[in-house]
Amino acid sequence: MSTPNPKDSLQAMILALEHYWAERGCVIQQPYPSEVGAGTFNPATFLRALGPEPWRVAYVEPSRRPKDGRYGENPNRFQQFFQYQVLLKPAPGDVVDAYFGSLRALGIEPLERDLRLLEDDWESPTLGAAGLGWQVLMDGTEISQFTYFQQCGGLELPIVSAELTYGLDRIGMMLQGTGRVQDLQWAPGVTWGDLWVRNEWEWSHYNFEQAPVAELFDMFKIWEAEAGRLLDLKLVSPGYDAVIKCSHMFNLLDARGAISVSERVGYIGRVRQIARKAALAYHHLRAELGYPLIKDEPERERWLAHYADAQARLKSQAAKKQGAAK
Amino acid sequence: MSRDLLFEIGVEELPSTYIEPALEQLGRGVRAGLADLRLGFGEVVTHGTPRRLAVIVSGVEDRQGDFEEEAMGPAAKVAFDAEGKPSKALVGFCAGKGVDVSAVRRVETPKGQYVAVTVKHVGRAAAEVLPALLAGIATKLQFPKAMRWDDGDYRFGRPVRWLLALLGGDVLPVQAFGLAAGRTTFGHRFLHPGTLEIASPAGYLAALEAAHVIADHRVRRAAVLEQITKVAAGMGGRVVADDELVDINTFLVEWPTAFAGAFEPHYLDLPREVIVTALREHQRFHAAEQADGTLLPGFVAVRNGDARGLEIVRRGNEGVLVARLEDAKFYWDTDRRHTPAEQVEKLSGVVWMEGLGSLREKAARLESLGGWLAERLAPGAKASVARAALLCKTDLLGEMIGSGKEYASLEGIMGGYYAGRAGEPRDVCAAIAEHYRPRGAGDALPASDAGSLLSLADKLDHVAGAFVAGKIPSGSEDPYGVRRAANGAVRIVLEQRRALDLRAVAMEMTRAFFAANPELAQAEIMRKLGEFWRGRVDTALDERGVAYDTREAALEARIELDGAARPGWCDAADALARAQALGAFRGDPRFAPLVVLYKRVANILKAAPEPLPAVLDRAKLGEPAEQALVSALEKARAATAPLWERKAYAEILPALLELEAVIHGFFDHVMVNVDDAPVRLNRLRLLADVRGLFLRGWDLSKVVVEGEKA
């Protein structure tokens, strides 16, 4: 069987990217099986970006933005879109060229396009994450977000990762030369419209009209409390899962217009607080596990010693504070 | 012997606005560093693109100059012990200076005998000292936002990926950012993949040009300008002037190629500012217009590359633009479904500033304040100001300002258009459109009276509200833009010469807030507000080149405004006029003695503890010198009365000079502080009257004249 051409279908683009990044040492992971607003929420990014362990991963992330739904009618806006997410930790020195190489793998010839790196400082207030980088423009359209993570869950990152996020739907539309997402070829003979138009209509209907506000507020509180409880038990994965669910409750409430402008900041702050708690729990857990992803023994010892030092420093600071308080 | 120096910091694509400030620091750092190192050099020229910050220095001397330093050591009695042996202090001093103990000699100083030594510094080779200098400069460059990368501790605007450092043909071993410098650089990311070797600084620009990089940003800017002009001419028009956009495009590309694009002419129904914003903000396109100023249905874009595939690039860019113009058209159509007048009550639903009520309340305040200002400054504009005040915030409710980030900068301007479409009078529309002006230091002021008054009301209310809400700017922190608002108001007052009493304004502006909330610490707020306005006027005078003590003299005058006694800063335009007159008069040789005399008067009055009689009792003036001063004072009053009226300050100061001789005579012949209290107080009253005449314009005791300390 010959390799499918990425210009023919969105699934061929996915295959090309999987192949390209697998060759560059990425673990090919799968989407997170719960609603996320972006690939960054996937623990393969949010948690793995923390701490000193090296990590390379790539995966498709179906991302939900309930507010962006347009009942499947708008050619450019929809509540579920498909990101291709790559995290390279640490970011290699040639990461920008590697990114452009991946565009070549998609059949995009930089010399025949106008490709730009336009300054864009990225921030996720709910995740307490921030980074500097660019939006990548192709002939004036934003096709990717390229971010050097500086902070995650409110923690400064000891090793800076590069996060590359491709807007698959957009790139697909440009490659296939279609102005309507509905006409995008997903697979030979099957369009995006065939797969998702009815889905978009139903979810838009739900997000804007049927989502039960009172129950969602309750669920927000339940998941918020659950995140706290589970993280206290050092159950980091289930605890972080509750953070994701809590964040999704917020997005649904926001789409329903149930949260006023002045309340928004408060809700975002509450999600950020548990996201931070998850980050901190993961930070300690990985050290307790001995940083198993660091395969170089002296390096592993060095980082463990570094962690032990930091803990000792914190302890003595806390003791001093307590002494001063007395 | 001297050689040229080249230093290039290779970096991933820097934000366009970071480059010029970084080049400025680089050039300054190199100049200062070479001077510190005592290395002679010729010209320092910087070059910048998104991927490189470079500096070329011509004729850097190969070796530092030798020089001798006279170093003072410890006192002789500390340097040697009782037996005349060198002490630890002396040995330490000599070790620090790298000299033998025997080299020191004793020197006499006003503080006693000390030891000293002549240290000979032998110049080192430039190649030895330059690497540390260059590494230091590169790692200390400041950016609006810096980032980390790898696991290093270094910070820069974007990751640094290579360093190139050459002195003549030799590599300088600069080490920074975990990199070692070499002679390798990179050409254009796509047009010249792979590395590029630079033989010598002289060949740098040409080698890069062959690799499709115009490194000299001055040359690149000229190329951008020439190309966009040519492309616009091909469309039958010219580029809408926008220097900042030319800069942005210059610093977004290494190899510019301009091209034209088009959009459907029916989008030209949108307001001009909306189209220009749609082109500029996201796409960095230049708008094009005909000779008569009407927009053309097209744009000029600048690509980072050559002409290859230009047709695809053009089509792609046109497609994105259509989506943006469609959004704008949707906003424009939606927003016009309701007239501004119909929207006014909806302003109640929008919070203006936390704790200060809604935009509806703000509109009501602006209506009343606008009227109050109009009565004082331009009565004819009162009706227009009031109407515009009521409507001016309604555009914030619309889709254009409300939902599209890129159009938020059109607040006010859109309101003017909506009001026009709804049939509001022209003056009202203009006032709404102008009422945010000036938006910053370089922006134009409102052109109409109504626009100026509404802008003043808006800014004054902003400042008063912020102080009432406790959002007072401190240091460099001003998150609510209070200083910017105040500076805009002061500019309007100064440049349009509007006589406004800032204290009365502050009282008027805070009245509504205080009425709504009687709990507020009114006296405290008013005091802080007064200090703040005085500071803003002071800054404005400073920016106009008025010296510090001249400003103080003008700001601390005691003037009368609408029958009320006020400090001189309360009328900013008048304070500027007085300050400028004083500044011009300071060159007069008779000025300094006058100031000295004035200070004598002021000091005597300052030292007087008792309250003075309200008026002078002429019957008590026995001495001829007293009488001479009284009549001279009365003459000066009469002579300057019409001048004060006309604010002819430049003529007042020479007229007041006449008093100098009689004041002198007074001090020579009259004893002020006599025991007889009624006589003493009456004489002090006379001096107070003399001071009072000056104080209407200036407090000359603030002026520093040569030969005295401030």
B164 contacts B6 by C-beta, under 8 angstroms: yes
Least Cα separation, residue A184 to chain B (angstroms): 16
- What burial class does residue A286 get, using C-beta atoms within 10 Å of its C-beta: 0-12 exposed, 13-18 middle, 19+ buried? buried
The closest CB to that of B316, out of A110, A139, A158, belongs to A139
Strands (DSSP E) found in B501-653: 558-561, 564-567
Q: Which domains does chain A have, with CATH numbers?
A: 10-209 (3.30.930.10), 211-325 (1.20.58.180)
Q: Are residues B511 and B439 in the same domain?
A: yes
Integer Cα distance of B127 and B608 in angstroms: 71
B189 touches chain A (CB under 8 A): yes
CA nearest A171 in B: which residue? B316
Q: Are residues B505 and B356 in the same domain?
A: yes
CATH assignment at residue B169: 3.30.70.260
Strands (DSSP E) found in B424-577: 558-561, 564-567
Integer Cα distance of B38 and B40 in angstroms: 6
CATH assignment at residue B594: 1.10.730
Last residue of a domain, one of B481, B498, B516: B516
| Cβ contacts of B579-582, under 8 Å, gap ≥ 24 | B579/B541, B579/B546, B579/B550, B579/B551, B579/B553, B579/B554, B580/B546, B580/B649, B581/B649, B581/B650, B581/B652, B581/B653, B581/B697, B582/B550, B582/B553, B582/B554, B582/B649, B582/B653, B582/B697, B582/B698, B582/B703
- Domain assignment of residue B651, given as a range: 587-702
Q: Are residues B429 and B410 in the same domain?
A: yes
| CB-based contact A160 B303, cutoff 8 Å | no
Answer yes or no: is B414 within a domain: yes
pLDDT single digits (tens) B656-704? 888 888 998 999 998 888 888 888 999 999 999 999 999 999 999 999 9
Integer Cα distance of B396 and B65 in angstroms: 66
pLDDT single digits (tens) B203-226? 999 999 999 999 999 999 999 999
Only one residue has tokens 């306005």, namely B533
List residues of chain A with CB under 8 Å from any CB of chain B: 52, 76, 90-91, 93, 96-97, 100, 109-119, 121, 131-132, 134, 138-141, 148, 150, 158-160, 174, 179, 261-262
* DSSP string of B304-329, one letter each residue: ES-STTHHHHHHHHHHHHHHHHHHHH
Enumerate the β-bridge partners of residue A164.
A86, A146
Lowest-pLDDT choice from B66-80, B199-213, B545-559? B66-80
Q: How many domains is chain B partitioned into structurally?
A: 5
Q: Is the pLDDT of residue B705 over 90?
A: no
| pLDDT: which is higher, B84 or A226 | A226
Answer yes or no: is B106 within a domain: yes
Q: Which residues of A touch B148 (CB under 8 A)?
A: 148, 150, 160
Q: Who's near B303: CB < 8 A, 6+ residues apart?
A: A114, B253, B256, B257, B258, B259, B310, B313
Q: Are residues B16 and B165 in the same domain?
A: yes
| CB-based contact A139 B13, cutoff 8 Å | no
Q: Are residues B320 and B348 in the same domain?
A: no
Q: Who's near B1: CB < 8 A, 6+ residues apart?
A: B61, B62, B63
Residue range B416-423: mean pLDDT, rounded: 96
pLDDT at A261: 67
B186 contacts B195 by C-beta, under 8 angstroms: yes
pLDDT single digits (tens) B146-169? 999 988 788 999 999 999 999 999
pLDDT at B102: 84
Integer Cα distance of A103 and A96 in angstroms: 11
pLDDT at A326: 58
| Cβ contacts of A128-131, under 8 Å, gap ≥ 24 | A128/A152, A128/A153, A128/A154, A128/A272, A128/A275, A128/A276, A128/A279, A129/A40, A129/A46, A129/A153, A131/A163, A131/B147
Q: Are residues B77 and B91 in the same domain?
A: yes
Give the torsion through C-alpha atoms of B548, B550, B552, B553, to 10 deg: 170
Answer yes or no: is B203 within a domain: yes
How would you classify the pairing of strands B195-197 and B238-239?
unpaired
B361 contacts B370 by C-beta, under 8 angstroms: no
Give B620's DSSP letter.
G
Give B700's DSSP letter.
G
Largest Cα separation within chain B, whole Å, is 104
**pLDDT > 90: what percent of chain B?**
68
Residue range B394-418: mean pLDDT, rounded: 87
pLDDT at B1: 86
CA nearest A120 in B: which residue? B15
Distances (CA, A) of B511 to A146, B58, B452, B472: 52, 65, 22, 18
* DSSP string of B349-410, one letter each residue: GSBSSTTS-BHHHHHHHHHHHHHHHHHHH-GGGHHHHHHHHHHTTGGGGSHHHHH-GGGGGG
Q: Is the pLDDT of residue B480 over 90?
A: no
Q: Which residues of A touch B307 (CB under 8 A)?
A: none
Mean pLDDT of chain B: 92
The closest CB to that of A140, out of B147, B161, B320, belongs to B320
Q: Which residues of A touch B255 (CB under 8 A)?
A: none
Answer yes or no: is B561 within a domain: no
Cα B480 vs. chain centroid, distance in angstroms?
A: 17
Q: Is the pLDDT of residue B302 over 90?
A: yes
A269 contacts A128 by C-beta, under 8 angstroms: no
CA nearest B192 in A: which residue? A111
Evaluated on CA atoms B186, B188, B193, B197, the torsion sign reads: negative
Integer Cα distance of A145 and A133 in angstroms: 8
Residue range B387-407: mean pLDDT, rounded: 86
B680 contacts B674 by C-beta, under 8 angstroms: yes
Only one residue has tokens 């070479």, namely B34
B420: enclosing H helix or E strand: helix B413-421
Q: At what angle do helices B243-250 and B16-36 cross, to 10 degrees?
A: 70
B212 touches chain A (CB under 8 A): no
| CB-based contact A112 B312, cutoff 8 Å | yes
Compute chain A's Rg from CA coordinates. 21
CA-based nearest residue to B273, from B331, B343, B346, B341: B331
B604 contacts B690 by C-beta, under 8 angstroms: no
Cα A126 vs. chain centroid, distance in angstroms?
A: 12
Q: Are residues B151 and B290 in the same domain?
A: no
B551 contacts B544 by C-beta, under 8 angstroms: no
Answer yes or no: is B623 within a domain: yes
Last residue of a domain, one of B181, B210, B239: B210
CA-based nearest residue to B186, from B8, B368, B397, B374: B8
Q: Are residues B129 and B36 in the same domain?
A: yes
Cα A260 vs. chain centroid, distance in angstroms?
A: 26
B466 contacts B536 by C-beta, under 8 angstroms: no
CA nearest B156 in A: which residue? A132
| CB-based contact A132 B316, cutoff 8 Å | no
CA nearest B255 in A: which residue? A114
CATH assignment at residue B430: 1.10.3210
Integer Cα distance of A318 and A314 in angstroms: 6
Q: Which residues of B touch A115 (CB under 8 A)?
A: 190, 304
pLDDT in tens, chain A (326 residues): 567 899 999 999 999 999 999 999 999 999 999 999 999 999 999 999 999 999 999 999 999 999 888 899 988 889 999 999 999 999 999 999 999 999 999 999 999 999 999 999 888 889 999 999 999 999 999 999 999 999 999 999 999 999 999 999 999 999 999 989 999 999 999 999 999 999 999 999 999 899 999 999 999 999 999 999 999 999 999 999 999 999 999 999 988 888 876 678 889 999 999 999 999 999 999 999 999 999 999 999 999 999 999 999 999 988 888 776 65
Give B133's DSSP letter.
H
* DSSP string of B70-129, one letter each residue: EEEEEEHHHHB-TTSPBPHHHHHHHHHHT--GGG-EEEEETTEEEEEEEEEEPPPBHHHH
A101 contacts A20 by C-beta, under 8 angstroms: yes
Q: Is the pLDDT of residue B89 over 50?
A: yes
**Coil, strand or helix: which one is A26?**
coil
Last residue of a domain, one of B494, B516, B538: B516
**B73 band by pLDDT with thresholds 50, 70 and 90:** confident
Helices (H), chain A: 10-23, 43-46, 95-105, 168-176, 192-205, 213-232, 236-255, 261-288, 297-325
Q: Is the pLDDT of residue B710 over 50?
A: no
Tokens representing residue A151 in the block: 């902070």
Answer yes or no: is B423 within a domain: yes
Tokens representing residue B616 in the block: 């002078």
Answer yes or no: is B568 within a domain: no
Q: Are residues B241 and B298 in the same domain?
A: yes
B483: enclosing H helix or E strand: helix B482-495
| CB-based contact B316 A113, cutoff 8 Å | yes
CB atoms within 10 A of CB B121: 13
Tokens representing residue B145 in the block: 């936002």
pLDDT at B703: 92
Q: Is the pLDDT of residue B403 over 70?
A: no
- What burial class does residue B504 get, using C-beta atoms within 10 Å of its C-beta: 0-12 exposed, 13-18 middle, 19+ buried? middle
Task: Please give the single-letter amino acid code of residue B697.
Answer: G
Answer yes or no: is B497 within a domain: yes
* DSSP string of A139-194, one letter each residue: TTEEEEEEEEEEEETTEEPSS--EEEEEEHHHHHHHHHT-S-GGG-EEETTEEHHH
Q: Are residues B604 and B695 in the same domain?
A: yes
The closest CB to that of B147, out of A111, A148, A262, belongs to A148
Q: Are residues B230 and B323 in the same domain?
A: yes
Task: Please give the single-letter amino acid code of residue A179.
Answer: G
Q: Who's near B412: CB < 8 A, 6+ residues apart?
A: B392, B395, B432, B433, B434, B435, B436, B437
Chain B from 8 to 37: CB within 8 A of any A CB: 12-16
ipTM value, please give it: 0.93
Tokens representing residue B73 in the block: 């050591």
Q: Are residues B162 and B92 in the same domain?
A: no
CA atoms within 13 A on the CB side of A299: 10
Residue range B404-413: mean pLDDT, rounded: 84
Integer Cα distance of B279 and B285 in angstroms: 5
